[in-house]
Amino acid sequence: MNSSIDLTGIGKPALLEVSDLEARYGHARVLTSITFSVAPGEAVVLLGRNGAGKSTALKAIMGLEVELQGRILLDGRQVGGLATHHIARAGAGYVPEDRRIFAGLSVAENLAVGRQPARDGHAWSEAEIWTLFPPLQAIADRRAGHLSGGEQQMLAIARTLMGNPRLLLLDEPSEGLAPVILARIAEAVATLKARGIGLVVSEQNLGFVRTFADRVLILETGTVRFAGTLAELDADPSLVTRFLSV
């Protein structure tokens, strides 16, 4: 089942529609003809080995670093080529691979820095963040630079949520984290989906995304080699050996 079709069927455009996206760093073209869409409450996962173009795809959507061609519609509005702060204001939140939290600020202060005006009548509160990521509450006053990798990843996601995004882009959230933390983050992603947030998650860890991925795209050298459901991916084990590290 393709849930984006279900939701667009009621006359509502997809939350994110990427068509024929190309991206280049200077003269080096690193994405070719990427097309996919994300509906509200849906998680699309970009899989692929190092250098496949996953981070570049997220950066292109966010208006960071690359020159791009093609269409990027957020809530039906072309945002491709806009400045990053306009894309954020239009509803996209981005958690980069290096998390970029403020090491010298406390957990609570990092959340306060991320706070933006309400969207669709809702603004994330600290209390809701503690419900989503219970371990953060006990360390609300701790400096972010003193947190474990897992705590920092939870904080990075939480801080981005304070901007009240409709669309959340996560770049390899599982990288370097222990299984117990991965389970917690996967559970949080499922909660965000249930709240209607659409997600694009870049990953190399197929096991991590299994509980929340609605559809997966496999990228190799900046091109989509496979797009489908997890069941469709599992039906062809050669995809994993050809395009993913195991």
Ligand X SMILES: Nc1ncnc2c1ncn2[C@@H]1O[C@H](COP(=O)(O)OP(=O)(O)O)[C@@H](O)[C@H]1O
**Binding to ligand X by residue 48, rule CB under 6 A?**
yes
Identify the residue among 17, 45, 47, 54 touching ligand X (CB under 6 A). 54
**Which segment (36-44, 50-58, 70-78, 80-88) binds Mg ion by CB under 5 A?**
50-58
**Closest approach of ligand X to the CB of residue 194, in Å:** 28
- For residues 17 and 61, the answer to whether their CB atoms sit within 8 Å is no
CA distance 43 to 93: 14
Choose the contact partner of 127 out of Mg ion, ligand X, none; CB within 5 to 8 A by kind.
Answer: none
> Which residue type does 110 have?
N
Identify the residue among 40, 41, 53, 165 touching ligand X (CB under 6 A). 53
Identify the residue among 52, 185, 200, 233 touching ligand X (CB under 6 A). 52
Q: Which is nearer to ligand X, 134 or 207 (CB)?
A: 207
As a whole number of Å, the CA-based R_g of the chain is: 17
DSSP of 178-190:
-HHHHHHHHHHHH
**Binding to Mg ion by residue 55, rule CB under 5 A?**
yes
Choose the contact partner of 52 out of Mg ion, ligand X, none; CB within 5 to 8 A by kind.
Answer: ligand X
Tokens of 220: 């190799």
Half-sphere exposure of 136 (CA within 13 A, CB side): 30
**Closest approach of ligand X to the CB of residue 53, in Å:** 4
How, if at all, do strands 92-95 and 215-220 pair?
unpaired
Contact track, ligand X, 21-40, x by CB under 6 A:
----x--x-x----------
Q: Which is nearer to Mg ion, 164 or 204 (CB)?
A: 204
CA distance 5 to 14: 8
Contact track, ligand X, 57-96, x by CB under 6 A:
--------x-------------------------------
**Binding to ligand X by residue 50, rule CB under 6 A?**
yes
Beta-carbon contacts of 197 under 8 Å, excluding residues fewer than 6 positions away, are 40, 41, 165, 166, 167, 168
**Closest approach of ligand X to the CB of residue 68, in Å:** 13
CA distance 4 to 206: 22
Beta-carbon contacts of 39 under 8 Å, excluding residues fewer than 6 positions away, are 3, 4, 6, 7, 8, 14, 15, 198
Residues listed for the chain: 246
Strands of the 67-74 sheet, one edge to the other: 28-38, 16-25, 67-74, 77-78
**Binding to ligand X by residue 174, rule CB under 6 A?**
no
Q: Which is nearer to Mg ion, 54 or 184 (CB)?
A: 54
**Closest approach of Mg ion to the CB of residue 136, in Å:** 25
Footprint of ligand X on this chain (CB under 6 A)? 25, 28, 30, 48, 50-56, 65
